[in-house]
């Protein structure tokens, strides 16, 4: 074994997480061969890992395919009840939704993506569901608030990872365009989007500040674009910033 290589036991742990992540990212059960292909592992290694995960309740096998098991949901619950930001989110988002009438969401960064950790529907809800735990891109919508806070090396990695920076509305976006927009977000402290990630949706988001001032999450409001134009959404910026500040304070309690 050469210097710097992980120990065999550590490689097994990493491979097990690779398998879990493959299943987590899939909207349907996957056959063994597909899990192995997506995880970059041999079928034999994948089958052994799936067996271990199945015995621990993290994987369920059926109809010659695999999907995540109930233990994965228990892990998610553990995060929601122990994370300070998650615990603080519901009352703040409820008040923001009641004030604006719009759907409110809270996102945290995970690698080069963001994850929805809380959502409260407003009086004028979105036409689509945005489930808790859903992975979403950083380069679109509320994710840009988090991308704007990334150090240069991580932002470079994001640019290299995303094949198409364009919006759901078909607007082409170059790397230079996105970098310039992220700089604007840093300067003004919020981001307005329309038809970026989902057609027919408009939204505005702001960073949730950690005690050191660095953004630790993104809070946003959104609704149907035809009923909530940019002029209206921008009018909610003060309320959004108040909610972001309240979340930042409460998460540290």
Residue 251, pLDDT score: 75
Residue 129, pLDDT score: 74
Residue 2, pLDDT score: 52
Residue 203, pLDDT score: 95
Pick the more confident residue, 140 or 2: 140
C-alpha 106/C-alpha 168 separation (Å) is 21
Residue 57, pLDDT score: 97
Q: Global pTM?
A: 0.89
Mean pLDDT of 33-48: 97
C-beta of residue 145 within 8 angstroms of C-beta of residue 241: no
What average pLDDT does the structure give for the chain? 93
In which band, very low, low, confident or very high, does the pLDDT at 80 lie, cut at 50, 70 and 90? very high
Residue 253, pLDDT score: 59
- For the chain, the first-to-last Cα distance in angstroms comes to 46
Query: Domain 83-250 belongs to what topology?
Result: Beta-Lactamase (3.30.450)
Domain with CATH 1.10.10.10 in the chain: 8-74
For residue range 163-186, list pLDDT tens digits in order: 999 999 999 999 999 999 999 999
For residue range 209-220, list pLDDT tens digits in order: 998 888 999 999
Length of the chain counted residue by residue: 253
For residue range 233-243, list pLDDT tens digits in order: 999 999 999 99
C-alpha pair distances (Å), 211 with each of 151, 154, 214, 215, 251 = 18, 22, 7, 9, 10
Residue 44, pLDDT score: 97
Residue 4, pLDDT score: 56
C-beta of residue 243 within 8 angstroms of C-beta of residue 213: no
Domain with CATH 3.30.450.40 in the chain: 83-250
Residue 34, pLDDT score: 98
For residue range 110-121, list pLDDT tens digits in order: 999 999 999 999
For residue range 50-74, list pLDDT tens digits in order: 999 999 999 999 888 999 999 999 9
For residue range 134-154, list pLDDT tens digits in order: 999 999 999 999 999 999 999
**Joined tokens for residue 71:** 């233990």
User: CATH number of the domain at 8-74, please?
Assistant: 1.10.10.10
Residue 133, pLDDT score: 92
Pick the more confident residue, 207 or 128: 207
Q: Is the pLDDT of residue 109 over 90?
A: yes
């Amino acid at each position: 074994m050469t210097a710097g290589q992980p120990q065999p036991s550590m490689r097994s742990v990493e491979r097990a997480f690779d398998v879990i992540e493959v299943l987590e990212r899939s909207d349907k059960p996957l056959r063994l061969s597909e899990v192995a292909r997506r995880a970059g592992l041999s079928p034999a290694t994948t089958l052994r890992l799936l067996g271990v995960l199945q015995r621990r309740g993290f994987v369920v096998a059926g109809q010659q395919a695999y999907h995540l098991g109930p233990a994965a949901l228990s892990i998610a619950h553990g995060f929601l009840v122990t994370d300070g930001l998650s615990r603080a989110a519901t009352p703040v988002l409820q008040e923001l939704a009641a004030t604006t009438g719009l759907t409110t969401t809270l996102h945290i960064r995970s690698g080069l993506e963001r994850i929805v950790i809380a959502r409260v529907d407003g009086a004028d809800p979105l036409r689509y569901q945005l489930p808790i735990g859903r992975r979403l891109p950083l380069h679109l919508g509320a994710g840009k608030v988090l991308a704007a806070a990334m150090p240069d090396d991580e932002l470079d990695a994001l640019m290299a990872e995303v094949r198409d920076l364009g919006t759901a509305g078909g607007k082409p976006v170059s790397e230079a365009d996105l970098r310039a927009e992220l700089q604007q977000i840093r300067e003004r402290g919020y981001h307005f989007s329309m038809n970026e990630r989902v057609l027919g949706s408009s939204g505005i988001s702001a960073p949730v500040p950690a005690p050191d001032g660095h953004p630790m999450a993104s809070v946003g409001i959104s609704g149907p674009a035809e009923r909530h134009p940019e002029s209206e959404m921008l009018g909610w910026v003060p309320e959004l910033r108040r909610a972001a500040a309240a979340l930042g304070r409460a998460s540290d309690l």
